Structure 1
Amino acid sequence: MSVEHRVVTEDEADLRIDRWFRRHYPNLTQGALQKLCRTGQVRVDGGRVQTNDRLIPGQSIRVPPLPDQSRPAPPPPPDPLMVKKIQSMILYQDEDLIVLNKPSGLATQGGPGITEHVDMMLEGLRPPGGDKPRLVHRIDRDTSGLLLVARTPGVAAKLAAGFRGRDIGKTYWAVVVGRPQPAEGIIDQPLAKVGAGGASMMVAAQRNDEDAVSAKSSYETVDSAARKFSWLSLSPLTGRTHQLRVHCESLGTPILGDPRYGGKAAHPDGFTDRLHLHARELDLPHPSGGRLKVTAPLPAHMQETFRQLGFVPGPTPEPVRTP
């Protein structure tokens, strides 16, 4: 093996040297890297460096010959059917990010008993010689709708910061059983986790409960059908697991078809027995400037329920990026 010289990209600005190596050579140990830096075998723009030095785009990193095990094995070629399936979910894409419309029933990430999930399928969107796109957030397996994916680690970090800082607007549509009173407002209901593993659930909790975490959601009743069913627009103001599902249940209006929350009330006769919760819209600051708004069309089972109840969703807007 010979010496390599690699140029720091814009996406790697301000990255520590040890984290740069962890990204590109994940099997190289910290101790081995420290020795390479200490002996001058790793250099930046010809100068000696320490592992905690930070990088600037355009700098040249001297990478000495490394043991084969320090380099990640190339991923196997993706299944063409998997590639076709993940490509069919793309609503918007550019050089920084991808927005997917995930179908209900497909898990976002792996777990016990899960053989297919979005994170695995993203290998099919890896550019030649580039990074595998990265999930920025998650939605429940039974929830349909928008998933934000970053093309590079640096973009992923920016978008994740946007979620933490509440700079990203998220709107969900749901069909619930009953009509909430009042028709709109803020649900400020702490949650707590009970159980473990796949059997765990989130439940409404008292504020002074030891395991309680703050959870807030806003909601608005868009339409209702004889007070028996309602179409809600929901926005999570915090990011707790199953937050919207538990909050709707706490209003006395469980989400139609919810397999985990709401009990029998969530499963009236005459309707498709699938969760009627859809991640409808994302409004976010674009990593390269401006804002991006993407809207996902309703899944087939919710379209049918809207038709049954006389709800009219209107056309789905095209993605819009503004300066």
Structure 2
Amino acid sequence: MSEKLEAQVRQFTVDADDDGIRLDRWFKRHLPDASFNLVSRWARTGQLRVDGARADPGDRVATGQTIRVPPADTAPPSARPKRERAPLTDEQIEMAQAMVIHRDAQAIVLNKLPGLATQGGTRTHDHVDGLLDALSFEREDRPKLVHRLDKDTSGALLLARTARAAAFFSRHFSGRSAKKVYWALVVGVPDIADGLIELPLAKQPGTGGEKMHVDEENGQPARSRYRVIERAGNRAAWVELQPHTGRTHQLRVHMAAIGHPIVGDGKYGGQAAFLTGGVSRKMHLHARRIRIDHPDGGKLDITAEPPAHIAETLEMLGFDPALGNVPFDDSPPPATREVKKARAKAHAKQVRKERRGERRGRGKS
């Protein structure tokens, strides 16, 4: 490299907010014009270095390290300019800030409203991600989402206020050390009051990936703990749920698979998921509590009060809210008979499908 080109090489020092993040994430945050392919090429040719050593995009950086980046004129301009976000209305700002139930230097916890999506998508214009500008408070940058809740699921949603906190929380979510407790009302009462559901899940064909189902052959492992808190005769039960894995719609699919769909969840429970007698048709699934290590030490342990429709149903059925505050139990029980029956049913369905395929194949020969 010529002396002139070497003089144009840029040096950056990793600050505390970026401690522990991957190098490709550092580029996305600080040099977004450098595409992943370009960064990978720099790495392959030895032009990308951290503290003088060759680096790869997947390497993690630490506070105080020096990142050597090739000259700026080798980076192509962005394919398209970033679209400016529309300013929030006073009503949107008020709604966003009213959801805050915890705030410190590194984290914000919201009690997300039911019916509010976490992120935008096709025909989804109202979402938490679009409200984050209202939650900057004393900081200049907006907080970051580190996990999601379904649109119709209410409750505790964690936001990171710094890049360092975002990387920290993401590691704990991916490592499954973050603990979440949900409250749900389900149709009927499970035979066993404390059970573990182990049924693999996959995207259901023909639904565009918008619906999941139990798939013993090709599904990803999924484990959910449930405990019955109270029951209303044989009509319904109030249960505590703890997901031990993080599959899409996991709790909803698992409860429906053992014959006890979540009240209001017509997507997985059909008409059987709706109770009569004035019970709300909204989904009765609430992220009650989240517990996770805090970037500054100690634990973040926050509970979120249920929304009006769930609180009203609990009262209508005569349940005592104080009974729902049970301690975490990290030692799951064995799989229940209901789970074994559901697993056998899914396996039989798969066998029937394969046999139909064999018969069709013989007919063509």
**1:137 matches 2:147:** yes
Equivalent position of 2:30 in the other structure: 24
Q: Distance in 1 between matches of 2:191 and 2:49?
A: 65
Equivalent position of 2:176 in the other structure: 166
Equivalent position of 1:222 in the other structure: 229
How far off is 1:185 after superposition? 1.1
Greater alpha carbon shift after TM alignment, 195-204 vs 253-262:
195-204
Equivalent position of 2:18 in the other structure: 12
Q: Secondary structure at the match of 2:320?
A: coil
Q: Which among 277, 290, 298 is matched to residue 290 of structure 1?
A: 298
Contact 1:18 1:51 in 2 (8 A): no
Q: Which among 100, 105, 120 is matched to residue 110 of structure 2?
A: 100
Q: Distance in 2 between matches of 1:221 and 1:316?
A: 10
Written as runs of structure 1 = structure 2, the 5 A alignment for 1:1-323 is: 8-13=14-19, 19-29=25-35, 31=38, 52=56, 56-58=62-64, 75-76=84-85, 78-80=87-89, 81-126=91-136, 130-195=140-205, 200-205=210-215, 207=216, 209=217, 211-269=218-276, 270-314=278-322
Structure 2 CA distance for partners of 1:198 and 1:7, relative to 1, 3 Å: same
Equivalent position of 1:320 in the other structure: none
Q: Distance in 2 between matches of 1:311 and 1:84?
A: 32
Q: Distance in 2 between matches of 1:164 and 1:54?
A: 16
- Residue deviations 1:111-168, cap 9 Å, x none? 1110111112113224677443211111111111111111123321211111122211
Q: Distance in 1 between matches of 2:272 and 2:183?
A: 19
- Letter of the structure 2 residue corresponding to residue 278 of structure 1: H
Q: Tell me which protein shows more helix as a share of its residues.
A: 2
Q: Secondary structure at the match of 2:167?
A: helix
Structure 2 CA distance for partners of 1:32 and 1:167, relative to 1, 3 Å: closer
Contact 2:289 2:301 in 1 (8 A): yes
Contact 2:190 2:260 in 1 (8 A): yes
Structure 1 vs Structure 2 CA RMSD: 3.5
Contact 2:99 2:112 in 1 (8 A): yes
Contact 2:291 2:300 in 1 (8 A): yes
Contact 2:229 2:324 in 1 (8 A): no
| Alignment gaps of 5+ in structure 2 | 1-8, 326-365
Contact 1:259 1:274 in 2 (8 A): no
Contact 1:284 1:293 in 2 (8 A): yes
Q: Secondary structure at the match of 2:322?
A: coil
Q: Tell me which protein shows more strand as a share of its residues.
A: 1
Q: Secondary structure at the match of 2:202?
A: strand
| Alignment gaps of 5+ in structure 1 | 318-323
How far off is 1:212 after superposition? 1.5
How far off is 1:233 after superposition? 0.4
- Residue deviations 1:249-290, cap 9 Å, x none? 122211111131111211122211000000000011111111
Q: Secondary structure at the match of 1:138?
A: coil
- Letter of the structure 2 residue corresponding to residue 238 of structure 1: T
Contact 2:291 2:301 in 1 (8 A): yes
Greater alpha carbon shift after TM alignment, 59-68 vs 180-189:
59-68
The total of aligned residue pairs comes to: 308
Q: Based on CA coordinates, which of the two structures has the bigger radius of gyration?
A: 2
Contact 1:16 1:51 in 2 (8 A): no
Q: Secondary structure at the match of 1:260?
A: helix
- Letter of the structure 2 residue corresponding to residue 242 of structure 1: H
What is the TM-score when the length of structure 2 is the normalising length?
A: 0.73
Structure 2 CA distance for partners of 1:68 and 1:130, relative to 1, 3 Å: farther
Q: Distance in 2 between matches of 1:280 and 1:227?
A: 24
Contact 1:173 1:232 in 2 (8 A): yes
Q: Distance in 2 between matches of 1:165 and 1:56?
A: 20
Structure 2 CA distance for partners of 1:176 and 1:25, relative to 1, 3 Å: same
Structure 2 CA distance for partners of 1:139 and 1:252, relative to 1, 3 Å: same
Contact 2:183 2:241 in 1 (8 A): yes
What is the TM-score when the length of structure 1 is the normalising length?
A: 0.81
Contact 2:20 2:167 in 1 (8 A): no
Greater alpha carbon shift after TM alignment, 249-258 vs 226-235:
249-258
Q: Distance in 2 between matches of 1:202 and 1:33?
A: 35
Q: Distance in 1 between matches of 2:38 and 2:271?
A: 57
